[in-house]
Structure 1
C-alpha cells in the first residue's frame, strides 16, 4: 500500500509506513491471543471512519481490556517506534483513524466499564470505551445524566480526544467543560493521572485540558472522570418553522442575548427537513426549522417559552409544537438526531464532505447566509444544520467519489467555508477536530508561533512520533 492517503480530500503526504516486525507481531499475538488480529476485514474496519477519506488500514489491531494492557502495547511498539492509533467506535469525521504511517490500532471497545458513580460529587469515572448511551443507561434512576451529545453514540475516550460537543453545548458546555481528570498512557508506557477529583486546582499545568482535544497524538486516554448533571424538574421541547434561515438564527441569538437558558437550540434548513421527512416518515413543513429544549421548574419553563415565542413571532416564526412527556419529546427530536444519515439518503451512493464551521454568535447569521449563497451559486447538494446556540453549523456536501469534478467542487467549497469562518473571527473546526483535513489551516487560524508551540508540545510528549502520526501537526523524527 502506498504511504500516501488515497482520498478525495487532498491529504498531505506522509512518511513511509512503519510496520511492526514479525517479532513484535508474535509478541502481541502471544500476549493477547484472539484479541490480536490481522484479519483483512478487521483491519479495514479500523482504518475507516465517517469522513470522505478512503480507508487506510493499520497492520494489526489489539483489543485491550485494561490500562495495564494498553501500557504493555505502548511499550512493545515504542521499542520499534511503531505507530499506535486509538480506536473507539470509528465515528470521527476528519480522517483521525487512518493509519497513514501504518502501525497498530488499539481498540478500546472492550474497556467499557463504568468504574464509579459519585452523584454526591457530580461525577463518574469510566473506562475509555464506554459510550455516552451506555453511561446514561448506567445513570438511569440516579437523577443525573451525562450531557455531551455529539449525535453519534461515541465513546467517552473518543469524545475527550476530539473535545466533542453537540446539541446540549449551549447550556452544559463541551467536553472540555465536563472533564475532571484522565488516566493516560505516555509514549514510554507510563501510566499518568492528570488531576484529582477536586472541581478546581491551581497546582501546576493543566494536563487534563492538554489531552482533551489532542486527538490521540500525545498519549492514550484509558479512563476519564467526567461531570454529570441533575435532570431538570421539567423538560419541554418545541419545534417552530421560519421563513428563512437568517430569521431562525436571529431568533436564537436574541434569546441567548436576553439570557434565556436554552438547553438545546438546533437549526435545520429546508433541504434537511425534506431529508428527515423521507428518512423518518415525518410530515414537518419543509421550511427552516428550530428544535428547542427548555429545562427547569414549570414556572421557569413557562417564562422562557413566553419570551422565545414572542421573539419567534417577531422573526416570522409559525406555530410552536410543544412536548413535555419523554415520548413526545423524543418524537419531536428524532428528526434532528437522524439528520446526518437522512441527508446521505438525498443521494444514495454518495459520500459526504461534512463541515463544521464555528463563528461568534454575532457573525452566525451572515456566515450561514453567505454559505447558502455559495451552495446555490455552485449548484451543490448540501443540507445545512447545526448547533446555532453556540455558533456551530454543518454542511453535508454530497458528491460522487467516482467523479473528479464533483470531488474537486466539494473540496473547493470546504476550503471556501473555512476561509469564510476565519474571516468572521471563527475556527476551521468547532467540534470535529483537526485530523488530516484541517491541518493546512492551523497556521492561518493560530499563527506560526502558536503552531510551533503545539509542535513543541507534541515533541515533548511523543519524541518518536508514535501516537497517531500525521495528524493535527506535522512532525518528522530526525534521529
Structure 2
C-alpha cells in the first residue's frame, strides 16, 4: 500500500468512524496526544483518531471498519502500562475503553463479577466492599481491568492470590474480523475444549480486543502488617523463602533496597533503619498471627533482621502500604527531569537472592541511579532506573543484562508488565525459536491483516536471505 493510498483509506475510515460514533470519535490534537503514550519510557506516537465505544457491539463495528480499510487499531485502557503496549506506533485508531465501564454483575455467592474492560480496579473494590469480597490483583496503579487482563498483570498480592491468569474465568473478545467471541464460563474450573481465555490474557490486544471480563473475587482478609530491616539484601530475600517454606500465611511481602529506604527517610513521614527492608502483610486473626509471631521473628533474626515492627491495624498499616505505593514517585524527585525505566524480571525463588545481588552490583558499577523493589514472595523484582537523557544508552545496556541474567536463571523477561515494545527481542532467548514461530502462526491466524496492535509482543521475523 503506497503512502497516498494509505492516507486516503485512513481518511475514509475516519469518516465512517465519525458517522458511527459522532462526538465519541475525535481527531482533536489534545485527545490524540493523550493517547500517544503510556507511563513507559518509550517514544510517543499519535493515532489518527481516538474512538470511545460504549458497547461490545460498537467495538465490533469499529474493528470491521479498521479491517475494511486495513487501518491499525490499538486498545487503550488507563494509560498506566510500563512497556509501551498501548502506544499506537503505526498510528491509526486508538480504541479507548473508558466508557466500557459497567459492573455488569456481582454474584457474591459464587464470588464472581462480570465487568467491562474499562472498569478501574479501585472503583470495583469500592463497589464490592459491602459484599465482604474484593478483587485482589493489585499492580499499584488504578489500572483498568481490561488493561490488566491484556498485560497479564500481577502485583503485591500475587504471592497469596495469584496473577490475572488465575483470576480470569472468561472473556468477551472482539476478533480481528469483528466477530464477538465468548470464552470460558462462570464455573470455577473446566476441562472443556482449548483454553481460549488464557490465549487472550497477556496477549496485549494483538489477538483480539477484550471488552468484558469474568473475574474471581475473594473474601476480604483479616490482615496484620509488619516491617523489618536486614543487614544484607540476601538476608532479606532468604528470610522470605524460609517463611514461605514454613507455610506461614503471607498476604504480601515487598522488598525495598537500602537506596529506596533512603528515599522514604528523606521524603516520607516516618523514619526507618537505613537497611534493606521487607514490608509484610500476614493474613489471619490477631490471635493466629500472635501465635506465629515468635516463629516469624526467629526467621527474620536468623537472617540478620531487626525485630519486627508492627504498625498495628488502621492508620499505621495504611501508611505502610501507601508508602510502598508512593515511594517510586518520590524517587523521581531525587533527580529532577529524570525518566523512569523499570525492569520487570521474575526468576525461580531459589535463584532470587543471587540475581538481585548481581543486579545491585551491576548497577553500582555503572554509576546509574536505580532502586530495587520486588514482590519477592513470587520471585518478581523491579530495578527501576531514574535516568537523564544522556544516560539512556547505558540504562538500556544494564537493563538488558538484567533480563539476560533472569533468563539464564530459568526466569522470564517480564513478570507482570508485559512484552509490549521493549522486551520483544528477548522472546526467542526465553522461549526458543520454535515457540516464537508458533506465536507468529497464532498471530497470523487470528489477525491475518496485522491490524491489531501491530509491532507489539511477537518479534518481527528475520528477513529471508
Post-superposition offset of 1:98 = 1.7
Greater shift after overlay, 96-105 or 205-214? 96-105
1:414 corresponds to which residue? 399
Residue 362 (1) aligns with residue 350 (2): yes
Q: How does 1:374-453 map to 2 (within 5 A)?
A: 374-401=362-389, 403=390, 406-453=391-438
- Conserved in 2, the CA contact under 8 Å of 1:20 and 1:59? no
Distance 1:18 1:389, change over 3 A: farther
TM-score normalised by the chain length of structure 1: 0.93
SS in 2 for 1:263: strand
What CA distance in whole angstroms lies between the structure 2 residues aligned with 1:398 and 1:302? 40
- Conserved in 1, the CA contact under 8 Å of 2:224 and 2:286? no
Post-superposition offset of 1:300 = 2.6
1:214 corresponds to which residue? 203
Where does the alignment leave 5 or more consecutive residues of structure 2 unmatched?
Answer: none
- Conserved in 2, the CA contact under 8 Å of 1:276 and 1:338? no
1:472 corresponds to which residue? 457
1:6 corresponds to which residue? none
What CA distance in whole angstroms lies between the structure 1 residues aligned with 2:53 and 2:327? 33
1:256 corresponds to which residue? 244
What CA distance in whole angstroms lies between the structure 1 residues aligned with 2:6 and 2:303? 56
Post-superposition offset of 1:20 = 5.1
1:99 corresponds to which residue? 88
What CA distance in whole angstroms lies between the structure 1 residues aligned with 2:293 and 2:162? 22
2:16 corresponds to which residue? 27
1:343 corresponds to which residue? 331
Post-superposition offset of 1:277 = 3.2
TM-score normalised by the chain length of structure 2: 0.96
1:47 corresponds to which residue? 36
Post-superposition offset of 1:475 = 5.3
1:169 corresponds to which residue? 158
Could you list the per-position Cα deviations for residues 370-400 of structure 1 after superposition, in whole angstroms to 9, with x for gaps in the alignment? Answer: 0111011111110111100000110111211
Equivalent residues, number: 459
- Conserved in 2, the CA contact under 8 Å of 1:294 and 1:304? no
Post-superposition offset of 1:198 = 0.8
SS in 1 for 2:136: coil
- Conserved in 2, the CA contact under 8 Å of 1:350 and 1:400? yes
SS in 1 for 2:355: helix
What CA distance in whole angstroms lies between the structure 2 residues aligned with 1:424 and 1:305? 33
Residue 63 (1) aligns with residue 39 (2): no
SS in 1 for 2:370: coil
What CA distance in whole angstroms lies between the structure 1 residues aligned with 2:311 and 2:238? 23
- Conserved in 2, the CA contact under 8 Å of 1:343 and 1:396? no
1:145 corresponds to which residue? 134
- Conserved in 1, the CA contact under 8 Å of 2:264 and 2:271? no
**Which of 113, 133, 141 is residue 102 of structure 2 equivalent to?**
113
Where does the alignment leave 5 or more consecutive residues of structure 1 unmatched?
Answer: 4-15
Could you list the per-position Cα deviations for residues 146-171 of structure 1 after superposition, in whole angstroms to 9, with x for gaps in the alignment? Answer: 10000011000000000000000000
